[in-house]
Amino acid sequence: MAKQGQADRFHQGTMTDGWRWFGAHPAKKRGRDGWTFRVWAPHAEAVSVVGDFNDWEEGAAPLARKGEIWEGFLPDLPVYTSYKYAVRGADGQVRQKADPYGFHTETRPATASKLYDISGFKWTDGAFREKKAKHPVYTSPLNIYEVHLGSWKKRGNGDFIDYKDLAKDLAAYVKDMGYTAIELLPVTEHPLDDSWGYQCTGYFAPTSRFGTPKDFMWFVNHMHKNGILVLLDWVPSHFCKDAQGLYEFDGTYCYEYSDPNKREHAAWGTRVFDYGRPEVKSFLFSSARFWLEEYHIDGLRVDAVASMLYLDYDRQGGAWTPNQYGGHENLEAIEFLRELNTMAFQTDPSVLMIAEESTAWPLVTRPPDVGGLGFNLKWNMGWMNDMCHYLKLDPYFRQYNHKDITFSMMYAFSENFVLPISHDEVVHMKGSIVGKMPGDYDNQLRCLRGFYAYLLAHPGKKLLFMGAEIGQWHEWDSDGQLDWYLLDRPENQKLRKFFREINAFYKKTAALWEVDFDWAGFEWLVPDDNHNNVVVFLRRDKKGRDLMCAVNFSPNTYTNYRMGVPPYRRYVPVFNTDDPAYGGDGFGDSEAVMVEAVPSHGKECSAAIRIPAFGAVFLRGEGTFPRPRKKQQAKELEKT
């Protein structure tokens, strides 16, 4: 009855732990140790297990049909045995398929699954997970370092570094640099390096490029022991058409839509999951829960959500099928995402479920019971596009594009946003982050410091792709490694020092993260100074303490920049991107700036500060402004 119950859940689309039942698992039968195998192939004529142990001979180790599921037991097979399923379709063709629920795989270019027992790893991250549960992301600092494991760093001979050595180096680096989390481009097994993991074949297998599944568990555990959250990019939006993968698994459309107007993403050369098929939902729910539960992953960034939501996404010439109401919304995908997020929060109430959603779809980060998709964070792609456009402009023309740095506040609190400067911004001839800035390299470094200060000060959580913190010259090369040699140069050493110290400042300054998703944490002081390319605003913590953030996107220095301010006694400088220790000239206020009884910008009092070219300064409001007598106020006005 238990097995029948499992099958029922699978066919109903409610199975969320499918990896425990499907795939290959150690077992004992009639006193012999071996492995049970179980696979879904609804239209197959026959399924057998093939591998090194039987010379890949179809039919030598047949599985028995139990409805749409095939299962069997094979004795005496050692761990790491390579295997596939030989699936004979109704057309008579035999397709050798990797195990959809396999835990381990051969290393590309080989494509078989490998027998592996994931049980027994000794986790030591309990204290970290308890602490995480007590600090909700909404009122905590979140500064994500996005990493592609294959190209962050390589061995001297160009080989990949394994999970354990990567964990040691990366944890030490990320901790030293002050990031609070890493986000990994997909580690799910994938055949082609150039896909960066976004076209995967192993939804339950960490790529073997860097080691075994337990090696990856060690990686996550080590990150947690160093206080670092681990987020994974996860791809339920499409899958590759490699022969060994999910593609036409039993000779029919199993995992993909049968409707040709839904089935393919032609531009990506991939197939689209059938979100209306219960068995496919069970597969994807199980994959998401698997990483959260078995690998202690802290969150999933769900890739290409927009492509799931719209039936006409990137479909040319009207080749798409409307929903039952005639609209272009994919109702099945919407329901899938809501159920996915509900399941994820039941698995781990502190999980981060992050949507890469590039449109204005409403309520992405609101609960399903109020019509939302149920994510708790969303990448702010509009802000990213505006900023990349602005940063590449000649400074003279920025005055005509001032909305690029202010428009985001029109919708900043409509969702719980992450501000992403990701891998997508440094590939395909887009150049590096520093390379987007105007002027020579020294000037570009100055611009990068000012921009990063603006990113940390803007409402929302933060994400930056690896390499920007060392002033990476070249755009990202997924086949190589970061330009670590730049750290032989004093100016790049100073840049890394800047990133280290401003990240530390961010973490200790509650005004920059405690109220990220509400107007209570933000106030414009100067939003409209397009002629000077300056914005000034306040960030505020829960106790109402203010941090003034002034950012200058022009090449001019401002020695007496006046703005209306709340009635503090003074503003004390607490961070300056132009500090000589970071490669700057030291321009900025070194002493407290006194507030004066001079009306400005609609406020009764004001302050005048110094702002460096292409730089940013942060000042903390202190004390209470003494209410001036009328005669004193008149004299102050005469001075101006």
CB-side neighbour CA atoms (13 Å) of 309: 19
Q: E strands along 401-473, which residues?
A: 417-421, 461-465
Q: Distance (Å, rounded) from C-alpha 550 to C-alpha 534? A: 7
Give every CB contact of residue 492 below 8 A, 6+ residues apart in sequence.
Answer: 470, 471, 486
Task: State yes or no: cis peptide before 109, omega within 30 of 0.
Answer: yes
Instruction: Tell me which of 264, 356, 469, 516 is the catalytic residue.
Output: 356
Q: Distance (Å, rounded) from C-alpha 83 to C-alpha 114? A: 6
Angle at 377 (CA atoms; ends 206, 291), nearest 5 degrees: 20
Evaluated on CA atoms 57, 61, 65, 66, the torsion sign reads negative
Query: Is 303 a catalytic site residue?
Result: yes
Running DSSP on this structure, what letter comes out for residue 596? B
The DSSP element (H or E) to which 39 belongs, if any, is strand 32-40
Q: Distance (Å, rounded) from C-alpha 430 to C-alpha 391? A: 12
Query: Is 356 a catalytic site residue?
Result: yes
Q: Distance (Å, rounded) from C-alpha 364 to C-alpha 371? A: 9
DSSP codes, 466-487: TTGGGT--SPP-TTS---GGGG
630, 622 Cβ separation under 8 angstroms: no
Q: Which two tokens stand for residue 352?
A: 């981060």
523, 538 Cβ separation under 8 angstroms: yes
Q: Which two tokens stand for residue 487?
A: 């750290």
Q: Distance (Å, rounded) from C-alpha 617 to C-alpha 587? A: 10
Taking Cα atoms as reference points, which of 569, 571, 564, 545 lies closest to residue 625? Answer: 569
Running DSSP on this structure, what letter comes out for residue 401? G
| Partner residues linked to 267 by β-bridges | none
The DSSP element (H or E) to which 168 belongs, if any, is helix 163-177
Q: What are phi and psi of 393, to 5 degrees?
A: -75, 145
Q: What are phi and psi of 169, to 5 degrees?
A: -70, -45
| Partner residues linked to 463 by β-bridges | 144, 420
Give the Cβ contact number of residue 342 at 10 Å: 16
Q: How far is CA 564 from CA 121, 545, 599, 606, in A?
A: 59, 17, 7, 4
487, 157 Cβ separation under 8 angstroms: no
Q: Distance (Å, rounded) from C-alpha 83 to C-alpha 85? A: 7
Q: What are phi and psi of 21, to 5 degrees?
A: -110, -50
Q: Using DSSP, state whether 311 is helix, strand or coil.
A: coil
Instruction: Tell me which of 189, 274, 279, 303 is the catalytic residue.
Output: 303
Residues with a catalytic annotation lie at 303, 356
